[in-house]
Amino acid sequence: MIKVAIPITGKEEYAAIKKVVYSGKFVSGKIVENFEKEYAKFVGTKYAVALNSGTAALHASLSSLGLKPGDEVIVPAMSFISSATAILHHGCTPIFCDVDIENYCMDPKSFEEKISKKTKAVIPVHFAGSSCNMFKIMKIAKRYKIKVIEDCSQAHGTKFNGKLVGTFGDVSCFSFYATKHMTTGEGGILCTNDKKISNFCKSFRNHGMVDRDTHKLLGYNFRMGEINAAIGRIQLKKLKRINNKRIKNSLYILKKLKKLHNEKKWFKIQEPKNNIFHTYFWCPIRIISQKINLSLVKKKLKQKGIEIRSRYKYPLYRQKVFQDLKLNGSQNYKKLNLNNAEELSGRIFGLPNHYKLTKTNLDFIIKTLGNLFEK
């Protein structure tokens, strides 16, 4: 079976963990601190705050911006659930906007259409290693005085117009979940140039603590442990190498499949764009034939020995957690129907592109997909 993701950890991570175990210091130590400095340097922000998940990073970011219950936060309808549930946990209202049909990221035009007097923040999600059009999104956000939280959970190292994602907004969130570009086992980090946001989030992740006996704000235990940070420091050193291989593999597959998609007609590749340095969390393919569905593609590829990534079967607003809500906000989730999110959800998938694949594997993937269905 050609797996869609494989472990990217080994001897070096094991040695780093062992050191932590023998030291007996598991929390709030130098390793987390060093990891934060190194990650901030990599992204190019002044500060980074490490947490125990990407979701925790979203929670801390929303809290740090001083949003109040009833405030609206705009988020794309196609993402991982916590991009939107973090807003709900905060007492705010998620307002879903549509995504771009070409790069599957937030559509700036739809974002602007969803702005109301209650809009206080926006969460552009850099989907599957691509980038939102941050030039347009920042322009709109500035015009309406809306705070920007970039969700970079799937885009470590991605660039828009030559600038790394995570450096455009007020604050940005990354996930280090096991299958991401780099991992800490479980974990996340937020990046910002704002000292107040950084200080707030450091306290927020640690029960709102100022010192051992003083709690100034309502916080959580969202701390990253030393073991996780030890893995993260090694992984960060490997990130460029891992990403380059992912990119090389994806571009090879996409270039060859482009010729085939014109012939076969049932699928379409995501076209690479000059202004996006895509890090290909997914090697993205879209089903365009109405006669073919994703379950069938998945099943047939599995029979041939190829695993794929297939997530986001429905636009987020169709999930029960939102459908059951009774809100007074600007959006009725039951009536919502966003064209591109509806078209793409359950119709896109990612081919294997990880760093251990050989040219023979890649050629097999291309040939198998090309021959999967008759014309």
Ligand X SMILES: Cc1ncc(COP(=O)(O)O)c(C=O)c1O
Closest approach, Cβ 230 to ligand X, in A, equals 18
Q: Residue count at the site for ligand X (CB under 6 A)?
A: 14
Site for ligand X, residues 146 to 175, rule: CB under 6 A = 151, 153-154, 175
What are the backbone dihedrals phi and psi of residue 289, each rounded to the nearest 5 degrees, phi first?
-80, 135
* Residues in contact with 92: Cβ distance below 8 Å, sequence separation at least 6, in sequence order: 62, 67, 68, 69, 70, 71, 72, 73, 120, 121
Closest approach, Cβ 55 to ligand X, in A, equals 3
Are 309 and 301 in contact by the 8 Å Cβ rule? The answer is: no
The tokens describing 42, both together, are 């990599």
Q: Is 188 in the site for ligand X (CB under 6 A)?
A: yes
Among 45, 82, 130, 345, binds ligand X (CB under 6 A): 82
**Does residue 9 sit in helix, strand or coil?**
coil
Q: Is 279 in the site for ligand X (CB under 6 A)?
A: no
Task: Give 129 or 219: the residue with its C-beta nearer to ligand X.
Answer: 129
189 half-sphere exposure, CB direction, 13 A CA radius: 33
The residue at minimum Cβ distance from ligand X is 54
Among 45, 61, 64, 83, binds ligand X (CB under 6 A): 83
CA 316 to chain centre: 15
Are 340 and 99 in contact by the 8 Å Cβ rule? The answer is: yes
- Name the residue among 167, 161, 158, 223 with its Cα closest to residue 192: 167
Task: Give 61 or 93: the residue with its C-beta nearer to ligand X.
Answer: 61
Are 349 and 292 in contact by the 8 Å Cβ rule? The answer is: no
Looking at the chain, the number of H-run helices and the number of E-run strands are 12, 15
Kindly write out the interface string for residues 15-54 of this chain, putting x where it contacts ligand X by CB under 6 A and - elsewhere.
Answer: --------------------------------------xx
Task: Give 185 or 219: the residue with its C-beta nearer to ligand X.
Answer: 185
In angstroms, the CA 295 to CA 56 distance is 32
Task: Give 187 or 365: the residue with its C-beta nearer to ligand X.
Answer: 187
Residues β-bridged to residue 211:
214
Q: Is 76 in the site for ligand X (CB under 6 A)?
A: no
Are 169 and 194 in contact by the 8 Å Cβ rule? The answer is: no
Q: Taking contact as CB under 6 A, which single stretch among the options 28-36, 77-85, 201-209, 360-368 is the one that binds ligand X?
A: 77-85
The tokens describing 289, both together, are 């034939």
Closest approach, Cβ 304 to ligand X, in A, equals 27
Closest approach, Cβ 14 to ligand X, in A, equals 22
Task: Give 154 or 261: the residue with its C-beta nearer to ligand X.
Answer: 154
Q: Is 184 in the site for ligand X (CB under 6 A)?
A: no
Task: Give 133 or 362: the residue with its C-beta nearer to ligand X.
Answer: 133
Closest approach, Cβ 176 to ligand X, in A, equals 7
Task: Give 177 or 317: the residue with its C-beta nearer to ligand X.
Answer: 177
How far, CA to CA in Å, does 121 sit from each of 22, 124, 226, 294? Answer: 44, 10, 32, 34
The tokens describing 24, both together, are 């007996």
Sheet holding 171-175, edge to edge: 47-51, 188-192, 171-175, 147-151, 119-122, 72-76, 93-97
Task: Give 124 or 366: the residue with its C-beta nearer to ligand X.
Answer: 124
Kindly write out the interface string for residues 128-147 of this chain, putting x where it contacts ligand X by CB under 6 A and - elsewhere.
Answer: --------------------
Among 9, 55, 172, 228, binds ligand X (CB under 6 A): 55
Closest approach, Cβ 258 to ligand X, in A, equals 26
Task: Give 63 or 267: the residue with its C-beta nearer to ligand X.
Answer: 63
Closest approach, Cβ 307 to ligand X, in A, equals 17
In angstroms, the CA 169 to CA 132 distance is 12
* Residues in contact with 114: Cβ distance below 8 Å, sequence separation at least 6, in sequence order: 74, 95, 96, 97, 330, 331
Q: Is 125 in the site for ligand X (CB under 6 A)?
A: yes
- Which residue ranges make up the site for ligand X (CB under 6 A)? 53-55, 79-80, 82-83, 125, 151, 153-154, 175, 177, 188
